Amino acid sequence: EPEVTQTPSHQVTQMGQEVILRCVPISNHLYFYWYRQILGQKVEFLVSFYNNEISEKSEIFDDQFSVERPDGSNFTLKIRSTKLEDSAMYFCASSRTGILSSTDTQYFGPGTRLTVL
């Protein structure tokens, strides 16, 4: 069964460093999302992406964040200058049509645990 993959599974970085989190969505999916979950807190929406541009972003997704689909398969989240409070699990998700229904949903990747020291 196709699945969303994410690399790395765990990233440790120093405060102020740039990190790039990578995702490979399911191959025929067109809508891509990033969510994050700070330890012990709820899963929060960061950004949605369709047709090579951001469709929607949350208040969390400030100028330090950017997303890109550099080729036909990868979808990346870049944090330009990491802060301690960026430590969280980051989940990538994809859906085929973007219309949630009985025939489509968002499939989540396994996540990248980001630790900022």
What residues line the site for other proteins (CB under 8 A)?
Answer: 31, 33, 35, 41-45, 48, 50, 55-56, 89, 91, 93, 95, 98-102, 105-111, 113
Closer to other proteins by CB, 17 or 55: give it. 55
Quote the tokens at residue 97.
């049509």
* Rounded least distance, CB 21 to other proteins, Å: 13
Is 3 or 18 the residue whose CB approaches other proteins more closely?
3
C-alpha–C-alpha distance, residues 114 and 117, integer Å: 10
Residue from 65, 78, 76, 68 nearest 24 by CA: 76
- The rounded distance, in Å, linking the Cα atoms of 56 and 100 is 16
Tokens coding 10: 């765990």
At closest approach, how far in Å is the CB of 115 from other proteins? 13
- CB of 84 or CB of 99, closer to other proteins: 99
Smallest separation (angstroms) from other proteins to the CB of 71: 22
Pairing of strands 112-116, 10-13: parallel
